[in-house]
Copies of this chain bind each other. A is one copy, B any other.
């Protein structure tokens, strides 16, 4: 059975590119399979190793993810790279198991209201799906990652009690999740909330790693990532150009910008192995394939500061 720590070593930072999944959730135009494959290849050459490549949902409903299997094969061909894909129901779990995907991603909402709106399931039923996914995945040497969405506040139910999130984290671990994530799906959190949540989640997780998934809806994305790193979090999600959003977060600016997240880590002395210039050049694919889709981020424009080593690190 694969240990999550094989994929996410605890002695370094791991940055997950979720642009090909969360980043494409809402877009009207999406890249061709060839362009997505080039996106993966070029990011791999820039040093990225963790790719969330799509979702196992009916192609008729989500045509942007129809090629999830091809992209899993793309990643499987790259030495040391790992793929993840979303499985939102039993059928998705079975479909994922039949592929070479390394990581199944399940979602459990922090609130009952969002769970029903997003998945048409109760939270309890979502945890049952985690249990099923873990049983099937572990038999196939795959891992299961469960994201707790709306963990810092919910656009439907409003406030979310941190204890409720921690209770769900515990339930997911008991159900067999190899690692959990806390997601600020609609960008409600500030850095203190993130730092304290991370410390609390770490206590619940013990030696199992956890993921922090942040959105930049209110401009706190990088500050929140920095607070997560302060708290010891070492696995963070981001998307190229900050692509993505959430149907429940109107006007949202999307995920934390991957390029800026790399820069943040480097300023903190956390080596990412990622070349920011090479990563920024991958934006050309998104620009060409998704005309009109805004790309965010500062490093792609300003570049890395010249002639500076980080004085305190």
Q: Would you call B218 and A219 a contact (CB within 8 A)?
A: no
Q: How far is the CA of A161 from the CA of B310 in the complex (A)?
A: 10
- Listed by A's residue number, 30 A-B pairs whose Cβ atoms lie within 8 Å are A159-B307, A159-B308, A159-B309, A187-B305, A189-B267, A190-B263, A190-B268, A190-B310, A191-B223, A191-B226, A191-B264, A192-B267, A192-B269, A192-B310, A192-B312, A193-B311, A193-B312, A217-B298, A218-B263, A218-B305, A219-B222, A220-B260, A220-B298, A222-B222, A223-B225, A223-B226, A226-B226, A249-B302, A251-B302, A253-B301
Measured CB to CB, the residues of A under 8 A from B are: 153, 155, 158-162, 186-193, 196, 216-220, 222-223, 225-227, 230, 249, 251-253, 257, 260, 263-264, 266-269, 297-299, 301-302, 305-313
Q: Would you call A267 and B298 a contact (CB within 8 A)?
A: no
Q: Could you say how many copies of this chain the assembly holds?
A: 2
CB of A49 to closest CB in B, whole Å = 22
Q: Would you call A267 and B219 a contact (CB within 8 A)?
A: no
Q: How far is the CA of A80 from the CA of B266 in the complex (A)?
A: 42
Which residues from B are CB-within-8-Å of A252? Answer: 302
Q: Which of B190, B216, B309, B312 interacts with A298 by CB under 8 Å? A: B216
Which residues from B are CB-within-8-Å of A160? Answer: 311
Which residues from B are CB-within-8-Å of A216? Answer: 298
Which secondary structure dominates chain A's binding surface? loop
Q: How far is the CA of A190 from the CA of B313 in the complex (A)?
A: 11
Q: Which of B220, B266, B308 interacts with A158 by CB under 8 Å? A: B308
Q: Would you call A311 and B223 a contact (CB within 8 A)?
A: no
Q: Would you call A313 and B192 a contact (CB within 8 A)?
A: yes
- Given contacts A191-B226, A268-B192, whether A218 and B308 have CB atoms under 8 Å apart is no
Which residues from B are CB-within-8-Å of A269? Answer: 192
Q: Which 4 A-B pairs have the closest CB atoms?
A: A190-B267, A158-B307, A219-B298, A223-B223
Give the one of A196, A217, A226, A310 with max B CB within 10 A: A226
Identify the closest chain B residue to A304 (Cβ): B218
Which residues from B are CB-within-8-Å of A189? Answer: 267
Q: Would you call B193 and A310 a contact (CB within 8 A)?
A: yes
Which residues from B are CB-within-8-Å of A305? Answer: 153, 186-188, 218
Q: How far is the CA of A220 from the CA of B263 in the complex (A)?
A: 9
Q: How far is the CA of A191 from the CA of B223 in the complex (A)?
A: 8
Q: How far is the CA of A297 from the CA of B253 in the complex (A)?
A: 11
Q: Would you call B260 and A299 a contact (CB within 8 A)?
A: no
